[in-house]
Amino acid sequence: MKRIGDMMVSSIKPSDTVGRRRVLADEKTVFYLAEKVIGELYGARGRKNISPRYWKKGKLFLACQSPLWVNELWISRDELRERMNRELGYEGVSEIKASE
């Protein structure tokens, strides 16, 4: 199975790159990956209770339905960040913040 980062590289035109750097992911791509990885970690219940709200400069803000989910995300935030970056193919998400 292809990673999203691989598909992004194959669809880049020469005008979309700066030197050898590739185009960074947009907010919709990061939100899609967040929902996908949350679903893998927590299943349907996690998708129902955790949703991405905002992403800027590598910081991903997630909204949770209860303090229990905020605590669960705080405990596993590093794993979530690593999985998302693995899918992106670069360090696109540097920090994850969760709030109620």
- Going residue by residue through the chain, which has 100 residues, state the pLDDT in tens, using 9 for 90 and above: 666 666 655 554 444 444 455 557 788 988 999 999 999 999 999 999 999 999 988 899 999 999 999 999 999 989 999 999 998 888 888 999 988 8
Per-residue pLDDT, 9: 52
Q: How far apart are CA 98 and CA 100, in angstroms?
A: 7
Per-residue pLDDT, 16: 47
Nearest to 91 by CA among 50, 59, 63, 54: 59
Per-residue pLDDT, 49: 93
What burial class does residue 64 get, using C-beta atoms within 10 Å of its C-beta: 0-12 exposed, 13-18 middle, 19+ buried? buried
Are 64 and 50 in contact by the 8 Å Cβ rule? The answer is yes
Domains of the chain: 24-99 (3.30.300.180)
pTM of the model: 0.71
Q: How far apart are CA 37 and CA 81, in angstroms?
A: 9
Question: HSE on the CB side for 58, CA within 13 Å?
Answer: 8
